[in-house]
Amino acid sequence: MSQKTYTALRVTETEDNQFIRRLTDLSFDDLPEGDVIVRVDYSSLNYKDALSAIGNRGVTRNYPHTPGIDAAGVVEESKSDAFKPGEKVIVTSYDLGMNTAGGFGQYICVPAEWIVRLPENLTLRESMVYGTAGFTAALSVYRLVDYGITPEMGDVLVSGGTGGVGSIAVSILSKIGYSVVAVNGIVDETDYLKEIGAQSVISIEEATDESPRPLLKVRWAGSIDTLGGPILSTSIRSTAPGGAVTSCGNVAAPDLPITVFPFILRGVSLIGIDSQNCPMPMRQKVWDKIAKEWKIPWLDRLTSETSLQELDSKIDLMLQGQHKGRTIIRLWD
């Protein structure tokens, strides 16, 4: 291994249990053990990264640490026959950015089994507009389509429509012909949601019914839920017979206040989405969809770009619930 130096956004813990974020110069000696070293061109900002950046032990156990669950770049060194220097690759999910130094550093070192070759028709920058959030959205859409939910069956609800997962889900569904109803965020982003493909937009209050009624009026052919809690419960109770709801997040709440009646009287299916440990054959298949027929023409509308030097303030915005769409990080100026 060479002795190159690089810059990373490093999170350290002080003696009084405070967590400090600062740019730090590191060397290849600081990289973890792994098969492949990747020079990271782009990363992206996810809620899990923001949690890691403030010392959330449910995400990251030990500090100092470099967050960043997404990375796209070029193979620098490889001990694996599967990848050669110069190849463009994507690394998302698994343990990257959680307990393995992640994409907020200019280099990462990971097992070969975590790496996806960059598909044709997708640039490194575009891959990080998707990132883990976009992959999760695409996996959710894939599961709904595979289940048999078709555009002709009616509206599909997407909660958390202004977030990273939600905005990509709205866009993909719209691109492939579905009528999408998006749930607005705390701040009114109706114009933005319609710009990225939503047919209509409803408020959080309209999407939430906390009554004890086991079933509600049918409104949706299917639903992609990113929030959990009462909105997920409401969407399940409002889904048509034979419909399906995917669940991939718990930002609103980890609880699911519901009875079994939507499942046994309407045959609604609840489909869990685990993008972190998605098997590689499925991962490659979904990335190929993203790069081909599901590629979003209006990616720039979803995206803001920041540098590693400016990233700290973007993390604060996400923690304050003021983040919209996708933020990608440029690692090299």
For the chain, 333 residues long, give each residue's pLDDT as a single digit of tens.
Answer: 556 899 999 999 998 889 999 999 999 999 999 999 999 999 999 989 999 999 999 999 999 999 999 999 999 999 999 999 999 999 998 999 999 999 999 999 999 999 999 999 999 999 999 999 999 999 999 999 999 999 999 999 999 998 889 999 999 999 999 999 999 877 788 999 999 999 999 999 999 999 999 999 999 999 999 999 999 999 999 999 999 999 998 888 899 999 999 999 999 999 999 998 899 999 999 999 999 999 999 888 888 999 999 999 999 988 887 777 789 999 998
Phi, psi of 129 (to 5 degrees): -65, -35
9 lies in some domain: yes
Residue 125 lies inside a defined structural domain of this protein: no
pTM: 0.91
Tell me the CA distances in angstroms from 323 to 143, 218, 327, one per residue in order: 27, 32, 9
Residue 104 sits in the same domain as residue 141: no
- 181-185: long-range pairs with CB below 8 Å, 24+: 181/155, 181/156, 181/157, 181/220, 182/157, 182/158, 183/157, 183/158, 183/159, 183/207, 183/231, 185/160, 185/161, 185/321, 185/324
Within a domain: 277: no
Same domain, 43 and 159: no
The owner of tokens 């030990």 is 62
Are 264 and 313 in the same domain? no
Q: How far separated are the first and last CA of the chain, in Å rounded?
A: 24
Into how many domains does the chain fold?
2
Vertex 135, ends 133 and 136: CA angle to 5°? 65
Whole-angstrom distance, CA of residue 10 vs CA of residue 49: 12
Are 38 and 48 spatial neighbours (Cβ–Cβ below 8 Å)?
Answer: no
Question: What residues make up the domain containing 83?
Answer: 5-118+300-330
Residues 80 and 156 in one domain: no
